[in-house]
Amino acid sequence: MNDEDLDVQILHGLVKWFDPAKGFGFIVAEGHSGDILLHANVLRNYGQSSVADGAGITVKVQQTQRGVQAVEVVKIEPPAGSVFPLGEDTERTTPEEIAILPMEPARVKWFDKGKGFGFANVFGRNEDVFVHVEVLRHSGFADLAAGEAVCLRIVEGKRGRMAVQVLSWEASVHS
């Protein structure tokens, strides 16, 4: 173990806000005064380009000259109190039913946060998979970038395949 490892702490808190355009945001942590800087590069190393405001987050932090900063994301949890938005389009409604669905590797085709939806393509399949912004938020994301690699849990809806959970590519490897 080197001296730098001694300065690293693990904290759990909530994402106060994160702006992908600015490339950073802040976390408020239990038992810690002041905000913790979350830089986009640290989030990208976890496999996500964004994170939802209010999402639970566990991070390794380090004190720097500019204050406490996250140096590694350990875990991201959906914002508390969010209702899983499946609507009338599918019969699967419980988190337990969703958790047993296979994870399918996919690449984001496009996502428009303003419109509230986008599409992804599962590797080896031709049809698009619908991704709703509320499913994204419930999964702990704020936005998706075109070309981003993700894993999806998918159900057949009345209008085709739709994502019911989005996982970062790297996080899905550890699930």
Phi, psi (rounded to 5 degrees) for 148: -65, 135
Q: Is residue 24 one of the residues assigned to a domain?
A: yes
Give the residue carrying structure tokens 């390794």.
60
Does 92 share its domain with 72? no
Quick one: which H or E segment has residue 15? strand 9-19
CA angle 121, 146, 102 (to 5 degrees): 35
Last residue of a domain, one of 42, 77, 112: 77
Q: Is the pLDDT of residue 113 over 80?
A: yes
In 3-state terms, what secondary structure has residue 172? helix
Three-class DSSP category at 160: strand
Residue 134: the pLDDT is 85
Supply the pLDDT for residue 30. Answer: 81
How far apart are the C-alpha atoms of 168 and 31, rounded to whole Å? 28
Residues 16 and 57 in one domain: yes
Q: Is the pTM of this model over 0.85?
A: no
Tell me: do 66 and 128 sit in the same domain: no
Q: Based on the domain organization, do 166 and 118 belong to the same domain?
A: yes
Flag whether 160 is in a domain: yes
pLDDT in tens, 157-170: 888 899 998 988 77
Alpha-carbon distance values, 21 to 63, 142, 143, 155 (Å): 25, 12, 11, 31
For residue 101, the model assigns a pLDDT of: 87
Per-residue pLDDT tens over the stretch 43-100: 988 888 888 888 889 999 999 888 899 999 998 887 765 545 555 445 545 677 877 8
Domain boundary pick from 77, 100, 115: 77
> How many other CB atoms are there within 10 angstroms of residue 37's CB atom?
17
pLDDT the model gives residue 68: 92
Residue 138 lies in a domain: yes
Do 13 and 59 fall within a single domain?
yes
Of the residues 77, 99, 121, the one at which a domain ends: 77
In a domain, 82, yes or no: no
User: In terms of residue numbers, what domain contains 71?
Assistant: 3-77
Is residue 22 in some structural domain? yes
Domain shared by 154 and 126, yes or no: yes
Provide the CATH number for the domain around residue 136: 2.40.50.140
pLDDT of residue 81: 54
Number of domains in the chain: 2
Query: Looking at the structure, do residues 72 and 97 belong to the same domain, yes or no?
Result: no
Distance of alpha carbon 24 from alpha carbon 168, whole angstroms: 18
Give DSSP secondary structure letters for 66-110: TEEEEEEEEEEEPPTTPPP--GGG-S--SHHHHHTSPPEEEEEEE
Map residue 173 onto helix, strand or coil.
helix
26 — pLDDT class (breaks 50, 70, 90): very high
Q: Inform me whether the pLDDT recorded for 19 exceeds 60.
A: yes
Question: Is the pLDDT assigned to residue 111 strictly greater than 90?
Answer: yes
- Whether 119 is covered by a domain: the verdict is yes
Residue 5 has pLDDT above 60, yes or no: no
Average pLDDT estimate for 136-151: 88
How is residue 35 written in tokens?
Answer: 């905000």
